[in-house]
Amino acid sequence: MASQIHPSAVISKEAQIGSNVYIGPFCVVQGKVTIGDGCRLDSHVIIGNEHGIVEIGKDNKFSAGAAVGGPPQDLSYKGEPTKLILGDRNVIREFVTLNCATAKGAGVTSIGSDCLIMAYSHVAHDCHLGSHVVIANSNQLAGHVTLEDHVKTGGMCGFNQFVRVGKYAFVAGDSAVNKDLLPFTISSGKYAVMRATNSIGLDRAGFAKEDIEAINRAIRIVTKGGGTIEESLARIANECANSASIQYFVDFMKSSSRGLAI
């Protein structure tokens, strides 16, 4: 099916537009941009910049005023051809800003598939979002932040540089995150600390009762046990039934570089 491009839209000669794409009034697509089949740009959407590379998958929706693939807000950036890559079926709401990466890391900012990023949120350079991530209004992600699959946040949260949040974690609204948050947890506060297991989220996601119980035990050992990380890991090995979820939880703990928000 042919794409629909409003006559007021400005499209770069370098852009590659898929089929059945709608580009609404006063949109600007600049530089090396690929837009997959079935995407929709409502109006006043800006995608790309003169130096970066933006690759967008299928069936993504961009609401009015979204600025996608702009240059990184980093003084070290000198116009290198860094990237922003989006998967499929993401919803990017009004006035969201998603920046291309810097050249200091791998040169890629990435967002998976089936994500919802609500209005006025910012995803900075070199961030990595998994799939099925939900970011509520006015979240601010500094550079190099990682949100793994199925992370959900409340409104007006802030994330410091290099913070990592594990799968199926929930961050309550108005939280400030300056350390890593373990998978499967609920966190809140300024600065945020892990307070409980995301039991309802895990149940809704189809986790088995026995798996949720083991995860809850592991989280309580870390957050309530009063031991060091090494002591907590030893207790988890002895007291929690081994499973893929527990192994992932343990691996996340061991790989944390920012420290855990306990």
Q: How big is the chain by its Cα radius of gyration, in Å? A: 20
Q: Which residues pair with 98 in a beta bridge?
A: 68, 123
Which of 36, 69, 143, 158 is flagged as catalytic?
Answer: 143
Assess whether 125 carries a catalytic annotation. Answer: yes
Q: Which residues pair with 65 in a beta bridge?
A: none
Which of 125, 128, 132, 150 is flagged as catalytic?
Answer: 125
Which of 112, 126, 130, 201 is flagged as catalytic?
Answer: 126
Assess whether 48 carries a catalytic annotation. Answer: no
Q: Give catalytic residues, as residue numbers.
A: 125-126, 143
